[in-house]
Amino acid sequence: MTALEVDRQAGAPAQPEAMPLDCTRHATLGEDGLSRLHLLVDGIHCGGCIRKIETALQRQPDVREARVNMSTGRLAVAWAGPAARATDLAGLVEGLGFRVTPFDPTQKRAGEDRSEKELLIALAVAGFAAGNVMLLSVSVWAGHFQDMGPATRDLLHWFSALIALPAILFAGRPFFRSALGALRNGRTNMDVPISLGVLLASGMSLFETINGGEHAYFDAAVSLLFFLLVGRYLDHRARGRARSAAERLLTLRSGSVTLLQPDGRRRSVPAETVESGQRILVAAGERIAVDAKVIEGRSEIDSSLITGETLPKPVRPGEMVFAGTLNLAAPMTLEAKAVGEATILAEIVRLMELAEQRRARYVALADRVAKLYAPVVHLLALVTFLGWLLFGGLAWQASLMIAIAVLIITCPCALALAVPAVQVIASGRLLRRGILLKSASALERLAQADTIVFDKTGTLTLGRPDLIEGGLIEGGLIDGGLIDGGPTEGGRPAEALRLAAGLAAASRHPLAQAVARAAPEAEALGGVQEIPGCGLLLETPEGEIRLGSRRWCGIEAEETPGEFGSEPRSELGPELWLCRPDAEPLRFGFADPPRRDAAEVVRQLKAQGYAVELLSGDRAATVEAVAKDLGIETWRAGCTPAEKCRRLEELEAEGRRTLMVGDGLNDAPALAAALVSVSPSSAVDISQTAADAVFQGEALAPVLELLNVARRSEILVKQNFGLAFAYNLIALPVAVLGMVTPLIAAIFMSASSLLVTGNALRLVRGGPR
């Protein structure tokens, strides 16, 4: 057992509806030509189960990919061939002893709720039986000192059996079912020794009662089961707080949507049945179920689950909205562009599942140790029984009780939870802050990093030109008035700016959009023509108004590569010129400003002991200005992707462990060359990045959060391993020496699991200091 047993450890949940024999209709054909099938696998309790399923499927010659996620229970399999093959592959998994159904996150959650209810009922039955049997046992114990006759003692034993045995058979079902399923398929899990211990104690007590023996342990057997159920229920609740972030996201895709039919009628349909191109209505307060383009209506959406941004985002016709976002203000009509597995939300879920399930170094260590658990503990319990029986001078009943305590107390729950609990909680915490992990080992590598290397454009800056304060260069930074030349109003030629913004509203060019953003109150002007490679033209009775390149506007300058088609580029950076009849030309200067918190993030990184460098392909003057502004002493300009890789190799040769922060597209070679890499990205770019982690939004603070969570996660994992090993080092000799009863062993075992999970949950509140 090597992965977080998210809720399933409570015993097999109430089974969903059986998979039909023909699974063809659940398979889909992807754009890559591969058929894909998503199934919910029931009965997974450990990493061994996952390896067994994946290995069996990957041995099939036509299977290209088989992946099981422990947290969500989802099996994703892709193969080259017809969809009819789906039934055979599902049957192969069922042949391994697992139950499979079409994947439905809401059905899975409903099954887990039923499982929790079943645990609570079992706990109540076991507690009632334990209390009553304990009262009868007190009478038996008191009778030993008051000359109680054998007939009375046997009668009390039979009363105890009538209460305890039915209660054990009913309340022990979560353990018995799981153990029986494992043994039936030639496997073992942690419920096998637990079930064995409970049944041995009950069987021995019944044997003693039938034969009129002096000792019966019905009180121990039913109380043992009661405390095991207490631990399992509390563990179930605690792990519910650490439930997979991917599982929570999956529930956002379910539900129904209002479909707008061609004849104008409205019909409510399941979200998964919507097809690309269909129109849907989204009411205020309703969650959007598909990726879509806004056709009618203006509103604000809460995209925090996708981008991590807490402020509502205004949307208008022509803009894209994504599945999982929440419509806040007003109804909208949308046209579906991507549904189901093609949505951005589905892509995020896939990334989360990959991050949660991949085997990192600590997971592999826990896996190797836990793999030896079953044979070793069973052999140890047998040796303990024989040792006390043959050499310890104890009767077989007492020797068996000691062996039962060994079976119970050595359960490796704490060890198996040491890494996955931290991993899942860390992934969930980062997701809530708009950060997606693409690799489980990324946290380990982030914790080792000591040098942070930034790209400039799109990383330290937003990669988006903004209208800046004039064109005077002072110390490498642009300063002065908003526009050069002409009368100003408060330092700004407001009328000219509004005119330019009215022209710019007709263009999608980045520089024109920057002008439009600078004067959002300006109304778009009609009749504006866009001249490719030149600019924008408006014919008026007074003459032409132009907004465009220097040469097109008749401003003499030396030709250099331009920003707006073929216009020259001044030494001051990108520019546009506004020419009006009977007025002096006005120049608009642009720059790509740093992210709002970039300087503070760099300062904190240096304060925490990280070395910070800047590698950019931009001009030296621009790079120097940004580096000086942000306080980065080590920088290089004009770097090609190959030169960036060489610099990273130099740092590695010096013994440095580098974190590369780049835009994830043209920096892909450098991202791959670094020890670990992070990319800022919009939601639509997530699938394109080559980084180990992706963060959303316009702030750079997620880099600090990633490093912080990585360091704290490493501390928590080491603490969990220490707790798990310390528990076993102490508990095992104590149990073998006969110093604990099975009842105390059950309490210790449950407490160790809760201790490790509770320690991992500290990461939710900020983690260890």
Cite the active site residues: 455
Backbone angles phi, psi at 168, to 5 degrees: -65, -45
Handedness of CA 60, 63, 64, 65 (dihedral sign): negative
Rounded CA gap, 136 and 142, in Å? Answer: 10
SS3 754: helix
> What tokens were used for 712?
């704290």
Strands 477-479, 676-680: parallel, antiparallel or unpaired by DSSP?
Answer: unpaired
Rounded CA gap, 334 and 290, in Å? Answer: 9
Spatial contact of 222 and 78, defined as CB atoms under 8 Å apart: no
DSSP 696-748: -SS-SHHHHHHHHHHHHHHHHHHHHHHHHHHHHHHHHHHHHTT-S-HHHHHHH
Backbone angles phi, psi at 320, to 5 degrees: -90, 145
Rounded CA gap, 214 and 224, in Å? Answer: 21
* Direct distance between the N- and C-terminal alpha carbons of the chain, in angstroms, rounded to an integer: 30
Angle of helix 742-760 relative to helix 413-432, nearest 10 degrees? Answer: 20
Rounded CA gap, 701 and 483, in Å? Answer: 32
Rounded CA gap, 117 and 621, in Å? Answer: 67
> What tokens were used for 546?
């132009």
Using alpha carbons only, give the angle 277, 283, 289 rounded to the nearest 5 degrees. Answer: 50
Spatial contact of 385 and 402, defined as CB atoms under 8 Å apart: yes
Determine which helix (DSSP H) or strand (DSSP E) holds 383, and give its type and residue range: helix 373-390
Rounded CA gap, 522 and 528, in Å? Answer: 15
SS3 565: coil
